Amino acid sequence: MKHLKAAVGGFAVAVMLGAMLPAPGALAARHKVDCAKVMDEINGGKKVKEVAKDLHISTSSVRRCEKKAKAEGGTMGGSMASPAAESSPAAKAPAAASSPAAH
């Protein structure tokens, strides 16, 4: 009977200690993905797999950031325009106020 009590007590302690440790899936849930950084990389011309590999996140996290940015109107990490459009001189030119006709 004495051995049974010791075994049950030991098992109870092990269960309590195990309950205090986080589940492996819970650790991943705590990791926040920096969607602004993800979108900077995507807007810079990188592919989804490249961004995921570089930032050590899953491709689904990258796609989730893309979806979130699209839903917010592309405000995360800059504009959602293509990299070619961002680097064009026309995109950087000031409005009509700088044209000679406006003076």
DSSP string, 40-96: HHHHTT--HHHHHHHHT--HHHHHHHHHHHHHTTS-TTS--S-HHHHHSHHHHS--G
Q: What is the pTM of this model?
A: 0.46
Residue type, 29: A
Q: How confident is the model at residue 27 (pLDDT cuts 50, 70, 90)?
A: very low
Residue-wise pLDDT tens digits, 51-97: 999 999 999 999 999 999 999 986 555 444 444 444 545 545 555 55
The length of the chain in residues reads: 103
Is the per-residue pLDDT at 5 higher than 80? no
Q: How confident is the model at residue 40 (pLDDT cuts 50, 70, 90)?
A: very high
Helix (H, G, I), strand (E, B) or coil at 101: helix
More confident residue, 34 or 8: 34
Q: What does the pLDDT read at residue 73?
A: 87
The CATH number of 31-75 is 1.10.10
32: left (phi over 0), alpha (psi -120 to 50) or beta: beta
